[in-house]
């Protein structure tokens, strides 16, 4: 297959590029390192691009900006893609408030540019859009909770499996990021349903793994481990540090993309996360990353919770598992943390050597 991966130097994009290249597919990556523009030098993804180039056989890359409609149009007219894995984004909930126009242009307009170019040039292609659980805004916070010693959890057993796709996406506070992603999410669904295109929308929980260029504003576990290993201070925002996230390794995300690509269902929406088995609170993540890294994490508490933040979010992935029974979570939370610790150690050594 000829595959386009946008955001190919990022966490999910690079995992997808590696995975599909190793299978013998032709992968074209688009990434203009805009993560550095959003988050400064700590968000720079060039290390990952270099790694990708060294580790792949056929991978090609262009620093195209997905906001550049003419350049996207030209790319699609030249290459005939059979699969588009759209991962490029302004990915931070909190960062969006400082750059609302840029956030919308990248997340909403950039996605529309890609959908329309696909319709014009490769209407039969499969298109996977990486959406987010932030499209639900803070509606998941209406689920009754109980407070345990180190985490919040759902109070009722019927909520135990987590949030499914029937959760409403309007009349809630999203953050501007959640709103720009919701615009893109709806547009992607619409191209799937209205034009009967092979489009799938994945609403991610916390996507993670060692390929993340973790920064305070994006990349929960990656950033936490980085602070534990390199020093500095981690800030916990609100909810006593008992807020819960479910974490999924980027490999398992790419496996889900592969399953969808092999048997696409036009316009479908899926929650995708690590589920209850891979859920952890911030307090628990601090303890576990200290145990695994052997380093003490210095952290401070700010009782101001992030606006629109989820208190307890666990992805109910039963719809995806029903539609794609071959898919499963292969990486446990400890395995993920161990990988992040090992790769952060290597990166720290390399940056000292440079």
Ligand X SMILES: NC(=O)c1ccc[n+]([C@@H]2O[C@H](COP(=O)([O-])OP(=O)(O)OC[C@H]3O[C@@H](n4cnc5c(N)ncnc54)[C@H](O)[C@@H]3O)[C@@H](O)[C@H]2O)c1
- What residues form DSSP beta bridges with 206? 247
- Taking the complex as a whole, the smallest distance from the CB of residue 132 to ligand X amounts, in Å, to 4
In this complex, which beta carbon is closest to ligand X, that of residue 211 or of residue 341? 211
* Burial per residue of 3-24, b for 16 or more beta-carbon CB atoms within 10 angstroms, e otherwise: bbbbbbbbbbbbbbbbbbbeee
* Dist CA 177 CA 208 (whole Å): 19
CA distance linking residue 161 with residue 158, whole number of Å: 7
- Nearest CB to ligand X, comparing residues 335 and 353: 335
* Residue 229 within binding range of ligand X, rule CB under 6 A: no
Residue partners of 54: CB distance under 8 A and separation at least 6: none
For residue 130, state whether it binds ligand X (rule: CB under 6 A): yes
**In this chain, which of 4, 5, 7, 243 binds ligand X, going by CB under 6 A?**
7
Residue nearest to ligand X (CB): 10
Among 82-90, 112-120, 255-263, 277-285, which window interacts with ligand X (CB under 6 A)? 82-90
Residues facing residue 27 across a β-bridge: 3
φ, ψ of residue 83 to 5 degrees: the values are -140, 130
Looking at beta carbons only, is 151 or 203 nearer to ligand X? 203
Segment lying near ligand X (by CB under 6 A), choices 85-93, 284-292, 324-332, 341-349: 85-93
Q: What angle do CA 10, 13, 17 make, to 5 degrees?
A: 125
**Cβ at position 248, least distance to ligand X in Å:** 9
Give the span between the Cα atoms of 307 and 261, in whole angstroms: 35
CB nearer to ligand X: pick between 35 and 255: 35
User: Closest separation between CB of residue 44 and ligand X, Å?
Assistant: 9
Instruction: Output 147 or 343, the one with its CB closest to ligand X.
Output: 343
Gyration radius of the chain's alpha carbons: 19
Applying CB under 6 A, which residues contact ligand X? 7, 9-13, 30-35, 45, 65-67, 87-89, 91, 106, 110, 130, 132, 204, 206-207, 212
């Amino acid at each position: 297959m000829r595959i386009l991966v946008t955001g190919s130097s990022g966490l999910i994009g690079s995992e997808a590029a590696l995975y599909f290249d190793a299978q013998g597919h032709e992968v074209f990556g688009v990434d203009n390192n805009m993560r550095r523009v959003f988050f400064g030098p700590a968000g720079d993804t060039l290390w990952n691009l270099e790694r990708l180039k060294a580790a792949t056989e056929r991978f090609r890359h262009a620093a195209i900006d997905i906001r550049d409609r003419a350049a996207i149009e030209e790319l699609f007219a030249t290459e005939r893609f059979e699969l588009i894995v759209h991962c490029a984004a302004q990915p931070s909930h909190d960062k969006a408030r400082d750059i609302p126009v840029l956030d919308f242009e990248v997340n909403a307009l950039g996605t529309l540019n890609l959908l329309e170019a696909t319709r014009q040039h490769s209407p039969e292609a499969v298109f996977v859009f990486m959406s987010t659980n932030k499209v639900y805004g803070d509606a998941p916070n209406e689920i009754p909770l109980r407070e345990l010693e180190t985490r919040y959890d759902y109070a009722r057993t019927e909520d135990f499996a987590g949030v499914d796709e029937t959760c409403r996406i309007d009349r809630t506070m999203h953050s501007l990021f959640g709103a720009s992603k919701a615009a893109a999410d709806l547009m992607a669904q619409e191209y799937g349903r209205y034009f009967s295109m092979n489009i799938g929308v994945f609403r991610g929980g916390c996507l993670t793994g060692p390929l993340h260029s973790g920064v305070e504003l994006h990349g929960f576990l990656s950033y936490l481990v980085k602070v534990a290993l390199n020093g500095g201070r981690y800030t916990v925002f609100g909810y006593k540090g008992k807020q819960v996230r479910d974490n999924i390794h980027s490999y398992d995300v790419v496996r889900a993309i592969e399953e969808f690509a092999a048997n696409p269902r036009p316009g479908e929406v899926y929650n995708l996360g690590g589920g209850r088995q891979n859920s952890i609170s911030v307090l628990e993540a601090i303890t576990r990353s200290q145990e695994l890294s052997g380093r003490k994490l210095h952290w401070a508490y700010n009782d101001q919770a992030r606006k629109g933040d989820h208190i307890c979010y666990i992805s109910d992935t039963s719809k995806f598992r029903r539609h794609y029974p071959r898919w499963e979570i292969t990486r446990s939370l400890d395995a993920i943390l161990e990988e992040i610790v090992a790769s952060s150690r290597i990166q720290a050594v390399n940056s000292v050597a440079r």
